[in-house]
Structure 1
Amino acid sequence: MCYFLTRKEEHARVGISVGKKIGKAVCRNQVKRQVRSMIDEVFDFEEPFDLIIIVRPVYLKKSYAENRSELKKTIARIHQKTRGNV
């Protein structure tokens, strides 16, 4: 799940939230590292919006590639929504 707002800084920012339903601290930290890696691959920080990513338990049932492609699709949809507002 992602929330977005028009960016307020010179560059876009990304926040990651991983709840306790994902697992214990070790598992949550691993998920955050994976999501950061995906963001580095997909996000160029020149986007016109800030993003908050909330990781849900279904994340663990999918592979890294599936989660990355879903993130890429989500960012593309957000681009379409913000295109008219920027």
Structure 2
Amino acid sequence: MQPAEPPSPPCPTRLPWDFHPALTEERLRICARMLANARRDALAMASYELGDDPWSVGCRAFAFGRHRLERAASSGDYP
């Protein structure tokens, strides 16, 4: 019986900048930070006693994130 051969390395994964050069790691990190902060703020504002539930908090987090990305894009502060 022959020893098992080690598995071959997985196929290289395509990275976002392989799909479009504007999707740089730095830009994606900035967007991710904005979206994470928007979600954090939506969770902090949630009032479950007044009727917030996961759906309403998720909608608010989406709106907060979309607004922050739109504001950043129109500000001219980011290339």
Please state which structure has a larger fraction of its residues in helix: 2
Task: Pick the structure with more strand per residue.
Answer: 1
Give the TM-score taking structure 1 as reference length. 0.38
Larger Rg belongs to: 2
